[in-house]
């Protein structure tokens, strides 16, 4: 399993490992904490006004009473037995970071290395999808990335001087050399390739060696320095499957805080060549008819929505 400190070498692994044991097919839904009913074009955006969260700086020096606390132990989030956020900081927590406002209430993140307080429990953030409201799941991912970035940038990478937080932007600075450190973000491009074969539509799905048995997903890879996202889409497909693409069309994006990716999803048309999987990266790449699909990623990942945008919604 990829640790929060080490970025994965395979974004498909990062985006799909939650699927091994964290099924969301029949999980109960928690109460919609502080969430107004969303409406309009921002229906699916937990960072929109419809869900009431506003990232912000500078923050207050001290948390207000009844502030909402995102408390992490590695990649697990502290919640009450009712799957709600705690409103007091547990004893022994450290690294408090102000995140912004949820409605009119402050939101803070912190870390706890001790056991969870009585009546509360740590839940792996990935496994909470479908069990808590969408706004809370995405907000948890945001808080996790900020808390981990803050924890891992306590010292300057150039001269080892302790860094300090900037007041008006999300950054840590070295007071000695002036070097600034911002939250890390690794963009990754995902492409679902389509074609018509024998008069029937097909999609290309790939299998990483790290996937659960029988699972396939759309091809994905990290954007390299100096590339556009479109260039990366062509390069990754050629490198990992030997296939050429055309007609690249943007679908949607998804922040993916495991540990710090931004997934950018596209569809494209097959433009030639034969499948040759890249050794150690792709175990198998195959064309599938829409009514003969294998096991797919869970609904927490954008890859599932990307596939269903082409073939229609699939039963779990």
Give the range with max mean pLDDT: 38-47, 136-145, 265-274, 305-314.
265-274
Cα 247 to Cα 240: distance, rounded to the nearest angstrom? 19
User: What is the reported pLDDT for 11?
Assistant: 44
User: What is the reported pLDDT for 24?
Assistant: 31
**Could you identify the residue written with the tokens 């710090």?**
260
Is the pLDDT assigned to residue 295 strictly greater than 60? Answer: yes
User: What is the reported pLDDT for 73?
Assistant: 95
Choice between 45 and 7, residue whose per-residue pLDDT is larger: 45
Mean per-residue pLDDT, 124-134: 88
pLDDT band at 153 (very low <50, low <70, confident <90, very high): very high
Model's pTM, two decimal places? 0.78
Q: Which residues contact 267 (CB under 8 A, 6 or more apart)?
A: 191, 192, 193, 194, 248, 249, 251, 306, 309, 310
The CA-based dihedral angle spanning residues 114, 119, 123, 127, taken in that order and rounded to the nearest 10 degrees: 170
Is the pLDDT assigned to residue 287 strictly greater than 50? Answer: yes
pLDDT band at 64 (very low <50, low <70, confident <90, very high): very high
Each residue's pLDDT tens digit, 116-127 = 999 999 999 988
User: What is the reported pLDDT for 85?
Assistant: 95
Each residue's pLDDT tens digit, 194-233 = 999 999 999 999 999 989 999 999 999 999 999 999 999 9
**Could you identify the residue written with the tokens 């991912």?**
141
User: What is the reported pLDDT for 39?
Assistant: 40
- What is the percentage of the chain residues whose pLDDT exceeds 70? 84
Bond before 58 cis per omega within 30 degrees:
yes
User: What is the reported pLDDT for 45?
Assistant: 53
User: Rounded mean pLDDT of the chain?
Assistant: 85
- Contact in structure between 116 and 92 (CB atoms under 8 Å): no
Cα 287 to Cα 202: distance, rounded to the nearest angstrom? 6
DSSP 8-class letter at 235:
H
Domains of the chain, CATH where assigned: 32-152 (3.90.79), 186-311 (3.90.79.10)
pLDDT band at 14 (very low <50, low <70, confident <90, very high): very low
Range with the lowest mean pLDDT among 30-39, 45-54, 272-281?
30-39
C-alpha 234: how far from its chain's center?
23
pLDDT band at 149 (very low <50, low <70, confident <90, very high): very high
Each residue's pLDDT tens digit, 237-257 = 999 999 999 999 999 999 888
Is the pLDDT assigned to residue 136 strictly greater than 60? Answer: yes
Q: Among candidates 25, 26, 19, 22, which has minimal Cα distance to 296?
A: 19
């Amino acid at each position: 399993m990829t640790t929060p400190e080490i970025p994965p070498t395979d974004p498909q692994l990062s985006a799909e490992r939650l699927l091994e044991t964290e099924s969301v097919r029949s999980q109960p839904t928690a109460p919609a904490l502080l969430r107004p009913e969303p409406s309009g074009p921002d229906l699916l955006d937990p960072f929109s006004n419809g869900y009431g969260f506003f990232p912000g700086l500078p923050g207050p020096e001290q948390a207000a009473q009844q502030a909402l606390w995102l408390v992490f132990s590695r990649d697990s989030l502290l919640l009450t037995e009712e799957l709600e956020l705690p409103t007091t900081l547990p004893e022994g927590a450290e690294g408090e970071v102000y995140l912004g406002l949820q409605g009119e209430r402050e939101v803070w993140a912190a870390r706890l290395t001790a056991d969870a307080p009585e009546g509360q429990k740590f839940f792996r953030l990935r496994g909470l999808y479908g069990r808590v409201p969408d706004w809370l799941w995405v907000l948890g991912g945001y808080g996790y990335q900020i808390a981990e970035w803050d924890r891992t940038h306590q010292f300057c990478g150039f001269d080892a001087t302790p860094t300090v937080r900037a007041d008006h932007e999300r950054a840590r600075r070295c007071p000695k050399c002036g070097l600034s450190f911002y939250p890390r973000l690794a963009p990754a491009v995902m492409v679902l390739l389509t074609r018509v074969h024998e008069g029937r539509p097909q999609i290309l799905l790939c299998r990483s060696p790290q996937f659960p048995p029988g699972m396939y997903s759309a091809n994905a890879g990290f954007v390299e320095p100096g590339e556009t996202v479109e260039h990366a889409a062509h390069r990754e497909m050629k490198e990992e499957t030997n296939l050429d693409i055309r007609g690249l069309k943007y679908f949607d994006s998804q922040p993916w805080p495991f540990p710090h990716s931004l997934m950018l999803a596209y569809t494209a048309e097959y433009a030639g060549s034969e499948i040759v999987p890249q050794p150690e990266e792709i175990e198998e790449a195959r064309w599938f008819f829409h009514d003969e699909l294998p096991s797919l990623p869970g609904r927490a990942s954008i890859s599932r929505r990307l596939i269903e945008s082409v073939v229609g919604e699939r039963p779990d």
